[in-house]
Structure 1
Amino acid sequence: MVISVSCILSRRVLNSFDKSYLLRISSCKMSVKVGDTIPNIDLFEDNPTNKVNLAELAKGKKLILFAVPGAFTPGCSKTHLPGYLKKADDLKSKGVSEIVCVAVNDPFVMAAWGKDQNTKGKIRMLADPSAALAKKFGLTVDVPPLGGTRSKRYSMVVDDGKITSLQVEPDGTGLSCSLVESIKL
């Protein structure tokens, strides 16, 4: 079994504060890495009938994909998403075709969050309602107050379907290395 350094660090930090939290971690086995190809997984935009295949979306483009534990949550709404929104034009001027935000929420919630944050034309808000993408990447975290299994917070650059840069928050939910300022184009 491969355990990422960030998971080991998270376990040590969490162990010193709250041993019961270790029982709530769904997966510390991060299977995604730089050089991997984006999986052929359908996400949803605006409603359950509007499927967006992530592998198809990434073909021939440079994307920034970032994931958050949940729409409308404080860290996501006040810091994470607004940072990408503020720098969207700058990132696109540097060759980024699309910026994609993913969360384990239903597509209606993601659409409402995008409307609330005024992301139209700048950031695509894609729902991963069953955590299929988070599970495929090995980046799930169990957060009972948010409803259970969620995605760890991360960001990546994808160039023509290949992951070229990946930043995963050491504790899965914090706000440090996955912010827009850490993107490595």
Structure 2
Amino acid sequence: MMEVGSKLPEATFSLLTNDGMSNPTTADLFDNKKVVLFAVPGAFTPTCSAAHLPGYITLADKLKERGVDSIICLSVNDAFVMKSWGDTQNAEHITMLADGDASFTKAAGLEMNTEGFGGVRSRRYSMCVENGVVTVLHAEEGGGFEVSDAETMLNSL
């Protein structure tokens, strides 16, 4: 599993915006930037929609005041689902990133098997990444939502 001081694994993601589909890499998203990345088990799921994503939307300005260049929400979903979820949540200040085949999630050691729910998904976590290196990591145990929220991340910066 990733830990503070780890370099992010190389991966290619899917990102659908109003400008169309793109496939940014780890380097595109994290090199020479301070990024808050948080991951959820699934778009449109109850805790993710009611608390996790909304917290980052609410605190986006405060996170950026702490020097954060971008805020990324990652899920093992496709880019169409991530864009639709972001649109319904008014997440215009959050990059809604798809790790469709879970390759990044697996390489980071942050996957979980939800079997009947959806197969391999991401554990719920948040991290701060500076120039591709993890400087803060809050990974949840099981299905919990105790340490990966936006306020905890803000207080960690």
TM-score by length of 1: 0.79
Task: Determine the C-alpha separation between the residues in 2 that align with 1:146 and 1:73.
Answer: 11
- Residue from 52, 68, 73 that aligns with 1:96: 68
Identity of matched residues, %: 44
The unaligned stretches of length 5 or more in structure 1 are: 1-30
Task: Determine the C-alpha separation between the residues in 2 that align with 1:54 and 1:114.
Answer: 21
> Where do residues 12-31 of structure 1 align in structure 2 (5 Å cutoff)?
31=1
Task: Determine the C-alpha separation between the residues in 1 that align with 2:149 and 2:21.
Answer: 30
Contact map agreement 1:69 1:103 (CA 8 A) in 2: yes
Shift of 1:142: 1.1
Match of 2:62, as an amino acid?
D
> Where do residues 86-125 of structure 1 align in structure 2 (5 Å cutoff)?
86-120=58-92, 122-125=93-96
Match of 2:43 in 1: 71
1:69-94 Cα deviation digits (max 9, x unpaired):
00000000000000000000111011
Contact map agreement 1:70 1:146 (CA 8 A) in 2: no
Name whichever structure is richer in helix by fraction: 1
Match of 2:9, as an amino acid?
P
Q: Does the residue aligned with 2:35 lie in a helix, a strand or coil?
A: strand
* Over 2 Å off, 4+ runs: none
For the pair 1:157 / 2:128, whether they are aligned, the reply is yes
For the pair 1:37 / 2:37, whether they are aligned, the reply is no
Match of 2:101, as an amino acid?
S
Task: Determine the C-alpha separation between the residues in 1 that align with 2:110 and 2:48.
Answer: 17
Q: Does the residue aligned with 2:29 lie in a helix, a strand or coil?
A: helix
Contact map agreement 1:38 1:55 (CA 8 A) in 2: no
Give 1 or 2 for the bigger CA radius of gyration. Answer: 1
The unaligned stretches of length 5 or more in structure 2 are: none
Match of 1:46 in 2: 16
Task: Determine the C-alpha separation between the residues in 1 that align with 2:85 and 2:23.
Answer: 18
Number of equivalent positions: 153
TM-score by length of 2: 0.93
